[in-house]
Amino acid sequence: MIERHGLLRFAVLSVVAALVTIGLKVGAYLLTGSVGVLSDALESLANLVAALVALYALWVAARPPDEEHTYGHTKAEYFSSGFEGLLIVAAAVGIVVAAVRRLIEPQPIQDPALGLLTNALASGVNLAVARVLLRVGKRHESITLEADAQHLMADVWTSLGVIAGVTAAVATGWHRLDPIVAIAVALNVLRSGFRLLRRSMYGLLDTSLPEETLGEIKAILDAHSGAGMRYHALRTRQAGARRFISFHILVPGNWTVQRGHDLLERIEERIREVIPNSVVDTHLEPIEDPVSWEDTRLERPAGDNVTQ
């Protein structure tokens, strides 16, 4: 697995792709005067801003833990993806505003063939870069790169819609088809933005790991249960590519410290093998003590664990 710093070059690739597509799409707009093409160019401008934010977020997330951030900086990626979601929503609103104006005052489309060819070339660049970012983002669990890829794919779908709308408008002579298609594309872009915002919000709220992953953890714990061993207070969360897992292990009170420690080491090692990038935190308790069974809450009043 490459180091998190190694992901920065993919964010740079996204910045370069955004600059190239902005140039191509602005050229296509100047050639055609199509509001659909203009909406496409506006979204590419948002892509550039998002790519720059993603580059910064990945740089922050790759920094090692310090005194103020002892768990690292991986949550910076959620801020980036959330910001990108907001940009996507803003771009969609801008598309609708421009399209409504053109819907009220339709205008003929100029030089459509060359303009659409330029737009199609820009879409090809976005598609190629999006595929790379999505593959790398999923492999290395970077929500920043995945968000960037989704943004670029939204741009690709926007471009396809614009090409269809301009072609239909030219073929039929009904110029209002251009802004109508632009509005339809904007709604699709809006949906993509809200999905990103939702996922980013869940990450910042320390949402538990997926059910499938929880099942794997429980299977490991169940496999080690026996000889009086039990577990409870299983909690999980994810911050970027890092997973945090904690639970309590209850064992007979006559076990030695060494025996209990060895058991915890075996369990933790097995979880790290099955679930990569995991930080496992365990707590050993005597199974005979009633307080151990009550020790499941995230927050307890002071003195709650003191046996009278």
CATH code, 273: 3.30.70.1350
- In one-letter notation, the amino acid at residue 292 is S
Backbone dihedral angles phi then psi of residue 249, each to the nearest 5 degrees: -115, 125
The reply to whether 125 and 255 lie within a common domain is no
Our count of domains for the chain comes to 2
By residue range, what is the domain housing residue 249? Answer: 211-294
* For residues 75-81, average pLDDT: 78
Token representation of residue 215: 């099942």
The reply to whether 151 and 262 lie within a common domain is no
Does position 248 have pLDDT exceeding 60, yes or no?
A: yes
Task: Decide if 305 is inside a domain.
Answer: no
Task: Decide if 242 is inside a domain.
Answer: yes
* For residues 109-130, average pLDDT: 77
Does position 9 have pLDDT exceeding 70, yes or no?
A: yes
Task: Decide if 299 is inside a domain.
Answer: no
Task: Decide if 171 is inside a domain.
Answer: yes
Query: Mean pLDDT over all residues of the chain?
Result: 79
For 39-49, how does the pLDDT look when each residue is reduced to its tens digit (9 = 90+)?
667 767 777 87
Please list the helix, strand and coil fractions of the chain in percent, rounded to the nearest 5, in that order: 70, 10, 20
Choose the final residue of a domain: 143, 174, 204.
204
- In one-letter notation, the amino acid at residue 72 is G
Tell the residue number behind the tokens 């190239």, with chain if given.
20
Choose the final residue of a domain: 183, 204, 225.
204
Task: Decide if 300 is inside a domain.
Answer: no
- In one-letter notation, the amino acid at residue 27 is G
Task: Decide if 69 is inside a domain.
Answer: yes
pLDDT at residue number 238: 81
pTM of the model: 0.61
- Cα separation values, 99 from 192, 253, 278, Å: 19, 72, 48
The reply to whether 249 and 119 lie within a common domain is no
Task: Decide if 256 is inside a domain.
Answer: yes
The reply to whether 242 and 129 lie within a common domain is no
Cα separation, 58 vs 74, whole angstroms: 8
CB count within 10 Å of CB 101 equals 11
Choose the final residue of a domain: 185, 204, 223.
204
The reply to whether 59 and 149 lie within a common domain is yes
Token representation of residue 137: 């983002």
The reply to whether 189 and 70 lie within a common domain is yes
The reply to whether 23 and 143 lie within a common domain is yes
The reply to whether 36 and 158 lie within a common domain is yes
Q: Which residues contact 127 (CB under 8 A, 6 or more apart)?
A: 152, 153, 156
Cα separation, 37 vs 188, whole angstroms: 16
CB count within 10 Å of CB 87 equals 21
Task: Decide if 308 is inside a domain.
Answer: no
Tell me which long-range contacts 26-33 makes (C-beta under 8 A, separation of at least 24). 27/118, 28/115, 28/116, 28/118, 28/119, 28/122, 29/115, 31/110, 31/111, 31/114, 31/115, 31/118, 32/109, 32/110, 32/111, 32/112, 32/115, 32/116, 32/166, 33/107, 33/108, 33/109, 33/110
The reply to whether 82 and 230 lie within a common domain is no
pLDDT band at 308 (very low <50, low <70, confident <90, very high): very low
The domain that holds 139 is classified in CATH as 1.20.1510.10
